Amino acid sequence: MSEASPALSGKEGVPPSGKVGTPSPHGRHGLEPFFATVESAPDARVAISVRTGRGFLNLRLNPHSRKAREAAERILGQPMPLAANTFTVGKHRVYWLGPDEWLIAAGEERASDLGSGLTDALAGFHAAVNDLSGGNVELLVGGAHARTALAKGCSLDLHPREFAPGQCAQTSLGRAAVLLAADGEPSTYTIIVRRSFSDYLCRWLENAARPHGAGFSVL
Amino acid sequence: MLLIECPWCGPRAETEFSYGGEAGIARPADPDALSDAEWADYLFYRSNPKGAHRELWNHDHGCRRWFGVERDTATYRIERSYVLSHTGSDAATGSDAATNAGTGYSSGNGD
């Protein structure tokens, strides 16, 4: 979890806090060594970026409980997706993970406030809010050949006809389990992957994207 | 490779799933009342048919839900996938199963 231990927080000059989702010092994502050494091609047609400072919450509640859903949506300020494998975009992104499970992606500090807000709002309901900020990494893959590169390790049909903007899927990319989402712009994808798989996945992506020219950046 | 239809995510590659054995095996209500032979039968013995077989699968690289699949063990042909009912039996069909969509919640008493 992202909650820094008091000892570490003290060393880094961040005051310890009891709140869930305390931002990790400097918004580290663990991919610094990879992005510091990887070389971008001059005319990249696949752009691979890591987004720093992102927070993630896992939300579980009974989808048939209108009151619980409305309580959560009031805090979120946007509807929760009820259709399988879709996401909603508002101030945050809310991804469908299962019939009673969602992933909320927000700014790291906002996620911490959201987490407390949701926990309070859902106190009387059969629901659970867990902060996964330190456990996930968000990557963006875009560029003209992004879809071709991803298709090398993904069994889903990523053509916009089948995988339109607003759709997401938990699936395998290479050998890693990921949450893959089709963003608004064509051939632009958000990938949320477990932190411990992120180095592997970036190296896999580099290999898959190399023939098309791969560009790397930290957002 | 099998193409397995997850009731929520649709058709996905077999590598996204894990197998959970024969479906529809109900845990005895009162295990203490059973003889060792009956308990062993519940724990270890499976029907192992040649032909239609109802089995459990978990979509563990996807939505991580358990569901049922009816598959022919001789031809590997998958006849259907279905949502398990919240009572634990695998006989869920019809509107109740569809509304509850295997969430383990019954509709109507949500609050």
pLDDT tens digits, A145-164: 999 999 999 999 999 899 99
- What band does B94 get if pLDDT is binned at 50, 70 and 90? very low
Q: What number does CATH give the domain A26-53+136-218?
A: 3.30.1360.120
Calculate how close chain B gets to A152, using CA atoms only, in Å: 14
Nearest CA in chain B to A170: B62
Distance CA B79, CA B56 (A): 14
Q: Which residue spans of chain A are classified as CATH 3.30.70.1520?
A: 55-133
Looking at beta carbons, which residues of chain A come within 8 Å of B92?
Answer: none
What is the average per-residue pLDDT within A71-81?
Answer: 91
Q: In the structure, what pLDDT confidence band is assigned to residue A166 with cuts at 50, 70 and 90?
A: very high
pLDDT digits (tens, 9 = 90+) for A32-68: 888 888 888 888 888 999 998 889 999 999 888 889 9
Q: What is the mean pLDDT of chain A?
A: 84
Q: Which of A60, A61, A64 to mutate to test the interface with B (most CBs of B within 10 A)?
A: A64
The single-letter DSSP state of residue A135 is: G
Find chain A residues with C-beta within 8 A of B63's C-beta: 84, 97-99, 101, 170
DSSP readout, A151-179? HTT--S--STTTS-TTBEEEEEETTEEEE
What ipTM was estimated for this complex? 0.76
Using DSSP, state whether A53 is helix, strand or coil.
Answer: coil
Which structure tokens are listed for A178? 């990921």
Q: What is the pLDDT of residue A190?
A: 95
pLDDT over 90 (residue B70): yes
Structure tokens given for A130: 């867990």
Domains of chain B: 3-25+48-100 (3.30.2270.10)
Report the top-level CATH class of A55-133.
alpha beta
How far is C-alpha A30 from the geometric centre of its chain's CA atoms?
15
Structure tokens, B60:
């563990």
Q: Which residues contact B13 (CB under 8 A, 6 or more apart)?
A: A155, A172, B1, B3, B4
Q: Flag whether pLDDT at B64 surpasses 80.
A: yes
Contact map slice: A 123-182 vs B, CB within 8 A = 125, 155-156, 169-172, 177
Q: How far apart are CA A208 and CA A211, in angstroms?
A: 7
Residue of chain B nearest A124, judged by CA positions? B111
**Range in A57-71, A82-96, A107-121, B13-27 with the lowest mean pLDDT:** A107-121
- Mean local confidence (pLDDT), A22-35: 65
Interface check for B95 against chain A (CB to CB < 8 A): the answer is: no
Q: State the span(s) of chain A assigned CATH 3.30.1360.120.
A: 26-53+136-218
Nearest CA distance, A85 vs chain B (angstrom): 7
